[in-house]
Structure 1
Amino acid sequence: MTPRERDALSWDGDDDPTLDTGSSADDSVGEDASADDDGRIAAGAESSTGLPAGYTAVGRGADDISRSDAEPDEDAAEGEDAPADADQAQPMGNAALIALGVLGGVYLLYTIGWIVGGLRLQDVIPFLLPETAVARVAYAFALWIAVAAPAIWFSATVLLTRRSRSWVRFVWLAAGVVLLIPWPFAMIGAIGQ
């Protein structure tokens, strides 16, 4: 075995005091407690092993474990895992995440399609718009708004439907797929005529 493999299998650093998880208290209980022939903890250790408020012991030896005399606090009654915000969104499932990724890819392709199609239209612009500086600036502005539209639609839909049902999010994303088709790319194509 190489020294590197020995290092990987060793437990060096476990005695670090900053990593203490409170096992010394458990060890002292284990030393004080003596198990009888049924495996139950002796009555002397009963007072040191109490349950936190709001918990109930079940199973073998549950009668020997004492309850804490403290009043149960509200956090323990509600449970530790209860969400802090009642209207907090539930995490998405695997299918929803995959569908969101596929739709994100479609929107990315739409952005690329608007760039390619819009740049291909620059050759045809003199036939569509008059040759003025205002027309060129307006075309450039409209082109970059069209390029940004799929990204804006996708991010706005995802952000604004965070607390909605997932079908609402996907309806809005599907509407964007239909509305934001890169028509210049679809009509002229990447190569043109």
Structure 2
Amino acid sequence: MLLVTYGILGGVHLIYLAGWVIALQRLNALSVPSADALTEIMLQLGEALAIVSPVAWFVAAFMLTKGRRPIVRLLWLLAGLVVVAPWPFVLGAWTA
């Protein structure tokens, strides 16, 4: 039963990854490119980290809770569902 729960939570984290990709594509379609190269680089770095964050959280939760009770791991995975949610996609920020 615990393995099934991990699989479901892992699937949700992968769906979040897809949500970040869609949200950032829609936000980029509306944004105006910056004249400053450093600003562009930092924006792209932030976007890349946002896309990778759900998978990174899932892997980190497994690695950092090794040897602990399963409830601790489940709580960290559930916290990740809130922390790394694709909020621009959820709230519809691209329509503003």
TM class by smaller structure: 0.7 to 0.9
Segments of structure 1 that go 5 or more residues without pairing to the other structure are 1-94
Matched, 1:157 2:75: no
Structure 1 residue 130, shift from structure 2 partner: 4.5
Matching of residues 35-54 of structure 1 within 5 Å: none
Matched, 1:119 2:2: no
Structure 1 residue 137, shift from structure 2 partner: 1.4
Write the letter of the residue equivalent to 2:67: R
Match of 1:104 among 1, 10, 29: 10
Structure 1 residue 138, shift from structure 2 partner: 1.3
Matched, 1:140 2:44: yes
C-alpha RMSD of the superposition: 1.8
- 1:40-95 CA distance string (max 9 Å, x none): xxxxxxxxxxxxxxxxxxxxxxxxxxxxxxxxxxxxxxxxxxxxxxxxxxxxxxx1
- 1:9-67 CA distance string (max 9 Å, x none): xxxxxxxxxxxxxxxxxxxxxxxxxxxxxxxxxxxxxxxxxxxxxxxxxxxxxxxxxxx
Match of 1:178 among 56, 60, 82: 82
Following TM superposition, where does structure 1 have runs of at least 4 consecutive aligned residues deviating by more than 3 angstroms?
none
Residue 41 of structure 2 aligns to a residue whose secondary structure is: helix
Amino-acid identity (%)? 34
Residue 78 of structure 2 aligns to a residue whose secondary structure is: helix
Write the letter of the residue equivalent to 2:39: A
Query: What CA distance in whole angstroms lies between the structure 2 residues aligned with 1:152 and 1:97?
Result: 19
Structure 1 residue 135, shift from structure 2 partner: 2.0
Higher helix fraction (1 or 2): 2
**Bigger RCO (CA 8 Å, 6+ sep):** 2
Segments of structure 2 that go 5 or more residues without pairing to the other structure are none
TM-score by length of 2: 0.88
Matching of residues 26-105 of structure 1 within 5 Å: 95-105=1-11
